[in-house]
Amino acid sequence: MFIGYDEYYFFYRSVQMAGLSSLQKKNVDEILRDLQKKRAGIAKEDFIGAACPGLNFNKERIGKTQCLTVIPENDFNGKYILYFYDSKYALPVSKDEYEFIGYLAKETGMAVFVPFYPLAPENSCKDVFEDVNLIYDHLLHKKNITDLIVAGSGTGAGIALSMTLISWKEGRKPPEKLLLMSPVIDTEFFDKRLEDKLLTSYFRDGIYYSSSIKEFINRYWVKEYAGQIEYTSPVYEDMRGLCDHLIIISGTDDIYNCYSRELADKAVNAGLHCSYFEFPRMHHRFFHDMNLDESNHARLIIADLITGSRNRIIDQYMYEIKERGEWSKKYPEIFKDDEATKFLVNNHISYSKYKKNGDFINLTRAATCKCFDDEVRRFILQYPMSTVVYLGCSLDTMFKRLDNGKVNWYNLDTPGKVSIRRLYTSDMEREHTIDKSIDDMSWLDDIKCDPGFGLLFVCRDFFQYKTFNEVGKFIDKIYKRFQGAQIVFNAPSYGGMLKKNLYNRKNEVDYKKYRLYLNDPVRNISLWNVSYSVIYEGFVFDNVINLRNWSGTTKLRIFYNTHINGDRIIRLRLGTERYRIYRDGQFVKV
């Protein structure tokens, strides 16, 4: 039975926090004794190479290192993954990670090659890299594997990144793809800014960092390689030419999440194709837990990205492209998205998880997109050199539909959605994409604009899943930072909200309850702040003309929807300030 992350999160927190006080008091010798005791316990389990349905195992020794190849019995595609497990510097592979390796082989159809590399305290990273570089050469030249994928988890991810960087510097062929999961990529902690974040995260994720652990790593792992960052702290290296595709998986409650973000930013700035997925409230190595929904979600994403397919889960992210493409064909007089139409010419997106909607639902969603386009277009016409911030942009390419050649545009969504977005489209001139959660208000620092030229926040559907008070607090944070800005969002009446929830409960696969409603926007919004003013309020079908080929039932439902104020667009000004209006760079009026 699977559990949601809310239930799991609090269970996990209670277990980890119980050991915090004792951990803080442990010195290096005590940490070493604990690791040796844990190592002995793992060794007694003797699960390596045990019979497993659907998998074959080959053991071999390369140089001084024992290696295991996990091969799927059926549908082996001939490709190999070189996998470095998370040893925490001193431990053998754990049972949960061993099971994850088996899953990876079965799901991808690839053989997973696992070296049991040297461990601390008997060995240092110098010994590790002497062995893994030999293994990499062996796979490339002795086994003639040309399209090798390199993967790693935790400390193994740091080894994978370092080995790839060293191979590139020494002229060896880089891997086709590099997969880093919860990577530990700075063992000398050169960047005090990141180390401060690590110390802050300590109290959320528990047992992975303290001053004694830092001393343990330096004494038993780094040793003579101190200062050689390509081995000890590869996050600070030049990432240009690293590999064809870098994949990073992390959780927001992973203590090393700040390093994952740093690496993803560096990779993008270096021009690498980087897919970065960050899962809310997930801890270090969460993807090893088979009982967690988010773990299974992450595993499917990993399998899709490694195999270059989309049919496991990525198509579910991209389903909205299919919808917009179909609306463009079926209702071109209402909504037209050329980007979606072009993408669908050469790409098939599966319907396997979704139930096709009827005309009314499709018309409502298409009309909603049209209304948002119309309101943003009006704003840009009035403020041609303004800035537009699209919150929860997902895969929508609104900028390409509305660009006037002058407007400055920001797209904002979670790192996972942004990674999927990059598979579909890329930023144009004056278009910027921020990969942060909308609720992480630090994105406000990333908005660079002159509010005097106009500033609009676009919130399509995002507010509807929040309560009235939650939306008020969210908007207040924007108001305090950008007084005079405008926000356009959609919100139904109470009756409209009930109808939406009733329909979604019956028809949606992933039902999410609508919580926001505004019966009287002018009166309701004044309860948030009396200085807010409603600029525009309209219904999504106001500017949609009924066509003859619509059924009588569809027309009746549209009439009823309008009657109960079921779907409504609202544009709001935050404060009494007025923008300076410019035409062709010249001030017109106040």
Residues 374 and 323 in one domain: no
Q: What is the number of domains present in the chain?
A: 3
Mean per-residue pLDDT over the chain, rounded: 88
pTM: 0.84
Whether 421 and 554 share a structural domain:
yes
Position 78 in a domain: yes
The parent domain of residue 135 ranges over 5-309
> Structure tokens of 118?
């040297």
301 and 323 inside one domain = no
Residue 276, pLDDT > 90, answer: yes
* Whole-number CA gyration radius for the chain: 27
**Is 353 domain-assigned?**
no
- Kindly state the helix (H) or strand (E) to which residue 232 belongs, with its residue range: helix 229-232
SS3 of 182-198: CCCCCCCCCCHHHHHHH
Distance CA 524, CA 359 (A): 32
Which residues touch 485 (CB under 8 Å, ≥6 apart)? Answer: 451, 455, 456, 457, 478, 479, 573, 574
pLDDT in tens, 65-114: 999 999 999 889 999 999 999 999 999 999 899 999 999 999 999 999 99
In degrees and rounded to multiples of 5, residue 70 shows phi and psi of -105, 115
Instruction: Examine the pLDDT at 9 and tell me if it is beyond 50.
Output: no
Is 47 within a domain? yes
Same domain for 336 and 373?
Answer: no
- Together in a domain, 525 and 489: yes
d(CA 221, CA 124): 4
Write the pLDDT tens digit of every residue in 530-546: 999 999 999 998 878 76
Q: Tens digits of per-residue pLDDT, 542-568?
A: 878 766 678 888 888 888 888 888 889
Whether residue 157 sits in one domain with residue 52: yes
**Residues 466, 516: contact at Cβ < 8 Å?**
yes
Q: Are residues 21 and 156 in the same domain?
A: yes
Q: What is the pLDDT of residues 406-460, one digit of tens each?
A: 999 999 999 989 999 988 999 999 999 999 999 999 999 999 998 889 999 999 9
Within a domain: residue 554? Answer: yes
331 shares a domain with 285: no
Tell me, yes or no, whether 538 lies in a domain.
yes
Please tell me the predicted confidence (pLDDT) of residue 508: 64
Evaluate if residue 144 carries a pLDDT over 60. yes
Write down the pLDDT at residue 2: 43
Does 151 lie in the same domain as 260? Answer: yes
75 is a domain residue: yes
Stretch 566-580: mean pLDDT = 82
Pair (375, 331) in one structural domain = no
What mean pLDDT is predicted for residues 379-399? Answer: 96
In a domain, 171, yes or no: yes
